[in-house]
Amino acid sequence: MTQTTILIVDDEPANLSLLTHLLRPTYHVRAASSGESALHAAASDPRPDLVLLDVAMPGMDGFEVLSRLHAAPPGADIPVIFLTAMAEQGDEEHGLALGAADYITKPIKPAVVLARVRTQLESKHVRDWLKDQNLLLEAEIARRMAENDLTQFVSIRALAHLAETRDPETGNHIHRTQNYVHLLALKLRSHKRFAAFLDPRNIELLRKSAPLHDIGKVGIPDSILRKPGALTPAEWEIMKTHARLGCEAIEQAQTDVERPVAFLNLAKEIAHWHHEKWDGSGYPDGLAGDAIPIAARLMAVADVFDALITTRVYKPAMSFEQARDLIAAEAGKHFDPDVVDAFLAGFADFTAVATRYREDD
């Protein structure tokens, strides 16, 4: 076990000798004869657990030493006992106000010094123990939160990939759209229309919830979902129900938990309304303009861009530039114009994501 270290600061050699002789049988003692050397000693190893500090020293006095010592960690946690012959009214109050732990007047009484030192060290040891316990508790909480986040992440991905197994042509679609939505949120977080919603917490929740946007496809029959050609009007009506089915599935999941799960609210909005259009011609509810939740408006651009650049059995892939131009042309019709502006401003980032998560041959 490391021996407790005490730093004695006094410009009188006799006082240093007396205190060193008194304390050395029990503690590791270091000595300094000036304020400057005291600060240097306090910042070097072995760092003191306690400082006995004379007030009246030439140059930097004890009050200034204490102020500088406690100005920043790790010195802020070191208890200081003032040792002084000064008896002027207010000196003790001034020292305690600066943060001194105790105040002993000279001439030194060995029993008093030993008792005060022992008391302060015991108090420090208790504080240090509590601090260590708090750090351990914080570390355990952080570990459990990370574990919960990982479990949540894996569960979300498992559900999203379940939807993908029904529609195998989408491949890395969930990876790309998740990143697209995140890019759009970052671009718009300072925009006056979006800043109130796109705070750091909601941006992270958007990133988490985006993969569930097509979860409702698990309820669409294979004969429609996997059809290699164009859908009939009746089949298309059934396909459109995936938005409602996804919302209802997430709603049902919410009823099974004891308290609200924030990302599920956004996931539900995205699943339900990411096929709505700015001009009101989308589905399932024909919402228009700002009536469409922001999360769904971001996903609308992300989802369409990815669909355009991806090969499907019923269509070839567009080039990045062709998809960009089509989305730009739909600003104010299919898409929120400000979201399109953010997409265009970050187009290079979008293409980088698309390239990184491109489909395997």
105 plus 237 within the same structural domain: no
Instruction: Decide which of 173 and 312 is more confident.
Output: 173
Within a domain: 91: yes
Radius of gyration for the alpha carbons in the chain, expressed in angstroms and rounded: 34
> Residues 47-86: pLDDT tens digits?
999 999 998 888 899 999 999 998 877 788 899 999 887 6
Within a domain: 161: no
81 CB contacts (<8 Å, ≥6 apart)? 50, 51, 52, 53, 100, 101, 102, 103, 104, 116, 117, 120
Within a domain: 143: no
238 plus 198 within the same structural domain: yes
How far, in Å, CA of 72 to CA of 79, rounded? 13
To the question of pTM greater than 0.75 for the whole model, the response is no
pLDDT of residue 190: 96
Q: Which of 84, 114, 136 is the last residue of a domain?
A: 136
Does the pLDDT value for residue 89 go beyond 60? no
Does the pLDDT value for residue 30 go beyond 90? yes
> Residues 236-277: pLDDT tens digits?
999 999 999 989 988 887 787 777 777 788 999 999 999 999
- The residue type found at 289 is G
CATH at 74: 3.40.50.2300
| Mean local confidence (pLDDT), 309-327 | 90
Decide: 302 and 357 in contact? Cβ < 8 Å: no
336 plus 194 within the same structural domain: yes
| Mean local confidence (pLDDT), 88-111 | 81
CA dihedral sign, ordered 39, 45, 47, 52: negative
> Residues 153-188: pLDDT tens digits?
666 666 666 666 666 555 588 889 999 999 999 999
92 plus 220 within the same structural domain: no
88 phi/psi in degrees, rounded to 5: -65, 145
pLDDT of residue 90: 66
Q: Which of 136, 159, 190 is the last residue of a domain?
A: 136
Give the number of domains in the chain. 2
Does the pLDDT value for residue 22 go beyond 60? yes
How far, in Å, CA of 82 to CA of 88, rounded? 14
Token pair 């290079």 is found at: 348
Q: Which of 84, 119, 136 is the last residue of a domain?
A: 136
Q: Which structural domain, as residue segments, surrounds residue 32?
A: 5-136
192 CB contacts (<8 Å, ≥6 apart)? none
Within a domain: 155: no
264 plus 330 within the same structural domain: yes
Element (H, E) at 233: helix 233-255
178 plus 114 within the same structural domain: no
Decide: 316 and 282 in contact? Cβ < 8 Å: no
Assign 84 to helix, strand or coil.
strand
| Region class of 358: left (phi > 0), else alpha (psi between -120 and 50), else beta | beta
20 plus 117 within the same structural domain: yes
Within a domain: 104: yes
pLDDT of residue 361: 47
Decide: 6 and 29 in contact? Cβ < 8 Å: yes
Decide: 301 and 278 in contact? Cβ < 8 Å: no
Within a domain: 152: no
175 plus 129 within the same structural domain: no
For the chain, what is the mean pLDDT?
Answer: 88
> Residues 118-138: pLDDT tens digits?
999 999 888 888 888 888 888
pLDDT of residue 152: 63
Within a domain: 270: yes
How far, in Å, CA of 305 to CA of 326, rounded? 9
Lowest-pLDDT choice from 143-147, 194-198, 274-278: 143-147
CA dihedral sign, ordered 225, 229, 230, 233: negative
CATH at 264: 1.10.3210.10
198 plus 341 within the same structural domain: yes
202 plus 310 within the same structural domain: yes
pLDDT of residue 341: 98
Decide: 117 and 81 in contact? Cβ < 8 Å: yes
DSSP string over 240-286:
HHHHHHHHHHHHHHHHTSSS--HHHHHHHHHHHHTT--TTS--SSS-
Within a domain: 154: no
> Residue 7: is it exposed, middle or buried by C-beta count within 10 angstroms (0-12/13-18/19+)?
buried
264 plus 194 within the same structural domain: yes
CA dihedral sign, ordered 223, 228, 234, 240: positive
pLDDT of residue 105: 82
212 plus 336 within the same structural domain: yes
